[in-house]
Amino acid sequence: MVQDLVGLLVAEHRRLESLFADIETARSPAARRTALDAAVTTLAAHTATEERLLHGHLPAELAEYEAAEHHRIHDLVARLTELNDVDPEFRPLLAALLEAVREHVQEEETELFPRLPQSVRVTE
C-alpha cells in the first residue's frame, strides 16, 4: 500500500493529540500514567518515522533543526518517565512536554509540510 507521507504523519499527530487529551482529562493517576505511556510509545514511533522517512527529503539545516527538536522532546520524555506522578516536578514537566510537542506539530503542519514536494511518498 502506498500512502502519502504527510498524511501518515498528520494522522499520527491527531493520535498524539487524542492521547494528550486523555492525559489532561484523566480522573486518576493510574489513568493518566496509562495515557502517558501510550503517548510516549506513539511519540517514539512517530519520531522514528519522521527521522527515517522525512528528514532525508529536507535541506540539511532543516533536518538538523528537526533532529534538535526531537532531541529536546526526547529529553523531556526521559526526565518525565523517571518521575513519580506525585513528584512536584511531574506536572510542570508534563505541561512542558505537551506544549513542546504541540508547538512542534503546529510548526510541521503549517510551515514544513506545505513546502514538501507532492512526490514525497512512503510504501507501507
Q: Which uninterrupted H or E stretch holds 66? A: helix 60-81
Kindly provide the b/e burial profile for residues 66-100, where b requires at least 16 CB atoms within 10 angstroms of the residue's own CB.
Answer: beebbeebeebbeebeeeeeeeeebeebbebbbeb
- What is the value of pTM for the model shown? 0.89
Nearest to 116 by CA among 67, 51, 55: 55
Kindly provide the b/e burial profile for residues 11-38, where b requires at least 16 CB atoms within 10 angstroms of the residue's own CB.
Answer: ebbebbeebbebbeeeeeeeebeebbeb
76, 90 Cβ separation under 8 angstroms = no
pLDDT per residue, tens digit, the chain (124 aa), is: 345 888 899 999 999 999 999 999 999 999 999 999 999 999 999 999 999 989 988 889 999 999 999 999 999 999 999 998 889 999 999 999 999 999 999 999 999 998 887 766 555 5
* Burial (0-12, 13-18, 19+ Cβ within 10 Å), 42: middle
Helix (H, G, I), strand (E, B) or coil at 122: strand
Alpha-carbon gap, residue 88 to 26, rounded angstroms: 18
How confident is the model at residue 85, as a pLDDT? 87
